[in-house]
Structures are given as C-alpha cells and as structure tokens.
C-alpha cells in the first residue's frame, strides 16, 4: 500500500503531512511517497522526507501509483480523469461548492473523502480540519489587521499624550471568531461581537468581549451547529445594530458563513461610508463571497479610506503549524479507514466515514451531495 503526498497549487504553502507525521503511516506498513518539493513552503524540504525513508517522486508517478492520495486542495479535471480506479483521496475538497468536480471524481471511480464534511461532533474533534485551520485564521486575521492599521491596539498613557485602545468588531463567533476575540483582547483592544447563534454569548463574554444580542434568530438546532438563513425582520434589526457599532470600530474581522451558500453581506456600502478613515476590515469569509459588498479574495480593496482585505486562506501564512495540525487531523481520520495491517476498510455504518465520504465505486454516496446533484 502506497500513500502519496501531493504538492499543493501555487499560493498554498501547507502540505498534507510533515515528515515526522508520515512515520505514523509507515508503522502501519504503508509506504509513503511525496511529490518533489511538496513540503518546501512548510519548511520541510525533500531531504527532511528522504531522511525519514519517504520517497520523493514526480507528480505523474504519484498519481499513477499511489493507493492513498493526500492533497489539501482539489485536483484539476484533467488530472482526475487520469486517476487510478479505486484510489482513495483525502483532503478538503469543499464538495458543496465544487459539484462539477465531484461528478469527475465519481466518473473516475475513486473514493473521495472530504474531511471538511465531517459532522462537528465530539468524536470528530481530533480530525476537525475546519476547527484547526479556522483557529489559525482567527488569530492571523487580527495580527494582519494590526499590521495594516496605522494606530496602536492597546491603551497607552505616556508623557507625550494618551492613546485610546483600538475598538474591534467581530462578526461571527465560530472557531475563527472566538480566536480573533482572544487575540484582539490579548493585544489590548475593546471588542464587540455579533452572531446569530445566541449559544455563543457565554463564550464571547468569558473572553472579555461584549456580545450584542438580537432577538428572534431562526432556529439552527438541526443545522449541526452551523448558522442558517435569517428572516428579513431579523436581518433589518441586525443591520441597524451593526451600523451603530461599526461607526465606532477601528478594526472589523468578518467570519460569518453558511455552509453551501454565499456568505451573508453584513456590512453595507452605507455602513462603510460611516467608518473612520484608516479603519481595516479583514474578511475571512472571502472564499464564499465575503461579508461586505466589495470583498475580493486575496486582495486589499480601499473604500472611502477603509482597507478591506479578503483572505480565505490565512492558515497558509502559518504553514508549519497549520500543516502540523492539518496532518494530525488527517492521520486521525485515516485511522478510521485503515485496519491494523494498513488495508483500507470503509465502514459506512460509522457516521464519520458516512459524513466525509463523497464518492465510492463510481457513485456519489453522500446524501446531501447526491441531492444537490439531482436537483
């Protein structure tokens, strides 16, 4: 059995498995190969892998021969067509947003496991890539904003005058938002937070931030912990309250997302016009459209003196730690799929396997994706 680690596309610095993590697979009698140069941007060069008896090969050889293919991002349609039947792919393939590619994987008769689709249950926590990476995104969003912002974060009283603390507004208190709160608080900022899930209020307050409550949120109890669309009345109330907070904010970190849909636009053009010159918005929901009307992923846009930076892949800017956590998530997930001799055994009765497995033996096996394709 061969497991191959692919090199990620240009702009992605992470790698699926670091050299020391690959050893865990080798203990299961699995030979590990890596595409030439795949770890370089995560500070793991070819030598670091060969030192651990991992073979460095070309992409072509790996795609042709590996039984297990590890890649964070999707392969291209052209590459999918050439994959070996029965190969197992494990990565973050975002099937809800990539239906056409899912059809290609199905036609290629590969088994595709997309770990971003795992249910957010206690048992899945050790393999939850969304959490491990969102944590980094929230941390780095605040540091990035602080870097662009031309003023201090903490309050200072000096002989040359006083500096007021920065005011940070955080939209969405999921994993990224909570880490953003903690990071902004550590830097001395005053923090206000919005989320449609009232359940997060206590966590927000325990981090020393103010939670702005809006009554009448839509019931999200059957959405697996995720947010759901809100009524027009709720949206209007929320907009009014965000408008009040945003005029006072120096930094805004936006993280609000709804799985399978475009991110809600929470900051309108009218609100942007009321923001202070020099304010900064870091929008990590940029990959699904962003929370402002002007967000562009991987770009900094200026509007009326406000910098709007869209970045859906901040974890890539901390490639070593991001890869280390990602790789551990992957190993934990693989341990569900491999028996003690290192053979692949898929147990579709297991809710985690069922939740992450998208295609198998030429069929789409994931109910939600199957429905999306047939509608």
- The number of beta carbons lying within 10 Å of the beta carbon of residue 41 is 19
Q: Does 326 bind ligand NAD (CB under 6 A)?
A: no
Rounded to whole angstroms, the Cα distance separating 254 from 224 reads 21
Q: How far is CA 222 from the centre of its chain?
A: 22
Residue 276 is a catalytic residue: no
* Annotated catalytic residue, options 131, 132, 257, 279: 131
Binding mask 154-173 toward ligand NAD (x if CB under 6 A, else -) reads -----------------xxx
d(CA 172, CA 128): 19
Options 25, 66, 189, 258; binder of ligand NAD; rule CB under 6 A: 258
Residue in 44, 70, 175, 338 binding ligand NAD, rule: CB under 6 A: 175
256 binds ligand NAD (CB under 6 A): yes
Q: Are strands 357-360 and 363-364 parallel, antiparallel or unpaired?
A: antiparallel
Span interacting with ligand NAD, options 68-76, 149-157, 223-231, 345-353, rule CB under 6 A: 223-231
Catalytic residue among 104, 128, 283, 311: 128
Question: Quick check: 67 and 3 in contact, CB under 8 A?
Answer: yes
CA 315 to chain centroid: 8
Known catalytic membership, residue 125: yes
Quick one: which of 63, 112, 124, 331 contacts ligand NAD (CB under 6 A)?
124
In order, the DSSP letters of 189-220 are: -EEEEE-S-GGGHHHHHHTT-EEPP-S-PPP-
Please count the residues of this chain forming the interface with ligand NAD, following the rule CB under 6 A: 30
CA separation for the pair 83, 87 (Å, rounded)? 7
| Position of minimal CB gap to ligand NAD | 174
Task: Considering only the stretches 102-110, 220-228, 319-327, 359-367, report the one whose residues sit in contact with ligand NAD under the rule CB under 6 A.
Answer: 220-228
Regarding 125 and contact with ligand NAD (CB under 6 A), the answer is yes
Cα separations (Å) of 258 from 39, 80, 226, 265, 352?
Answer: 32, 28, 7, 11, 21
Q: What is d(CA 300, CA 281) in angstroms, rounded to the nearest whole number?
A: 9
Q: How far is the CB of 239 from ligand NAD (least distance, A)?
A: 10
Q: Which residues bind ligand NAD (CB under 6 A)?
A: 120-122, 124-125, 128, 130-131, 134, 171-177, 194-197, 225-227, 230, 255-258, 264, 266
């Amino acid at each position: 059995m061969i497991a191959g680690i692919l090199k990620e596309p240009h702009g992605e610095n992470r790698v699926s498995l670091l050299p020391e993590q690959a050893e865990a697979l080798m203990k299961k009698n699995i030979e590990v190969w890596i595409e030439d140069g795949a770890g370089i941007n995560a500070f793991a060069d070819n030598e670091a892998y060969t030192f651990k008896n991992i073979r460095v090969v070309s992409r072509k050889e790996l795609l042709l021969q590996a039984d297990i293919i590890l890649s964070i991002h999707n392969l291209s349609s052209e590459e999918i067509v050439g994959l070996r039947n029965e190969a197992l792919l494990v990565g973050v393939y975002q099937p809800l947003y990539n239906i056409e590619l899912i059809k290609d994987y199905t036609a290629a008769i590969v088994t595709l496991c997309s770990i971003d689709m795992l249910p957010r249950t206690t048992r899945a926590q050790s393999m939850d890539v969304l959490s491990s990476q969102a944590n980094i995104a929230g941390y780095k969003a605040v540091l990035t904003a602080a870097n662009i912002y031309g003023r201090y974060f903490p309050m200072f009283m000096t002989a040359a005058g006083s500096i007021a603390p920065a005011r940070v507004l955080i939209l969405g208190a999921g994993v990224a938002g909570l880490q953003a709160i903690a990071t902004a608080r550590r830097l001395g900022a005053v923090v206000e937070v919005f989320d449609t899930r009232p359940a997060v209020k206590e966590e927000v307050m325990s981090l020393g931030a103010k939670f702005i409550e809006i009554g009448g949120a839509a019931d999200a109890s059957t959405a697996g912990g995720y947010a759901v669309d809100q009524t027009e009345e709720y949206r209007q109330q929320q907009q009014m309250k965000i408008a009040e907070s945003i005029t006072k904010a120096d930094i805004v970190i936006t993280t609000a997302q709804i799985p399978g849909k475009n991110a809600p636009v929470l900051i309108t053009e009218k609100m942007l016009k009321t923001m202070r010159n020099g304010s900064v918005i870091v929008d990590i929901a940029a990959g699904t459209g962003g929370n402002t009307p002007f967000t562009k992923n991987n770009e900094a846009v200026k509007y009326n003196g406000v910098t709007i930076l869209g970045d859906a892949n901040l974890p890539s800017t901390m490639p070593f730690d991001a890869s280390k956590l990602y790789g551990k998530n992957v190993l934990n997930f693989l341990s569900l799929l491999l028996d003690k001799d290192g053979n692949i055994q898929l147990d579709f009765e297991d809710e985690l396997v069922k939740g992450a497995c998208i295609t198998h033996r030429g069929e789409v096996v994931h109910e939600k994706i199957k429905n999306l394709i047939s509608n």
